[in-house]
Amino acid sequence: MNGGKIMRQERSVCRWRQEILEFESSREYDNPFLDVRIMAVFTGPSGRRILREAYWDGGRSYKVAFAPTETGTWLWVLKAPEDTGLDGLSGTLECRAYTGDLDIYRHGFLRVHPSGRYLVYDDGTPFFWLGDTHWEFAWRESWDQSNHPDMDSMFLGMARRRAEQGYNVYQTNLRSDQAMGGEERYWRQKNGKDLPNIEFYQKELDRRMRALADLGLVNALGFAWFMSVKGQVDRQKNLARYMVARYGALPVVWTLAGEVAGYSGEPLRSEYLKGWQSVARYLASIDGYGTLKTAHSTNERPFADYYQQEDWFDFTLNQAGHGDYAISPSHYREFRKKYPDKPFIEGEALYEFCSTLEEMGTRLCTADMLRRVAYMSIQLGGCGYTYGAQGIWDCVWEKGQKNPMALFNRFDVTWYEAIDGVGGRQMGYMKKFYEKIHFWEMLPYTGYGEEDTALFARKSPLITVNEERTRAAVYYGDTCRRGAVAGGMRAGRYRLWWFDPRTGEETKEGEKETKEDGNLGLPEKKGDGDWLLAAEWVE
d(CA 445, CA 472): 9
pLDDT at 450: 42
Taking phi over 0 as left and psi of -120 to 50 as alpha, with beta for the rest, 529 belongs to left
Each residue's pLDDT tens digit, 441-497: 999 998 754 445 454 556 789 999 999 999 999 999 999 988 889 999 999 999 999
pLDDT at 4: 55
**In the chain, what's the furthest Cα-to-Cα distance?**
82
Each residue's pLDDT tens digit, 32-58: 999 999 999 999 999 999 999 999 999
pLDDT at 11: 65
Strand boundaries in 156-250, DSSP class E: 169-173, 187-190, 193-196, 218-225
Helix (H, G, I), strand (E, B) or coil at 99: coil
Q: How far is CA 104 from CA 20, 101, 109, 160, in A?
A: 19, 9, 6, 16
pLDDT at 176: 94
d(CA 271, CA 269): 5
Stretches where the chain sits below pLDDT 50 are 1-3, 7-10, 449-451, 453, 455
pLDDT at 393: 95
- Report H helices in 380-508: 415-418, 422-436, 454-459
d(CA 360, CA 343): 34
d(CA 55, CA 38): 8
Q: Of 442, 438, 444, nearest to 457 (Cα)?
A: 444
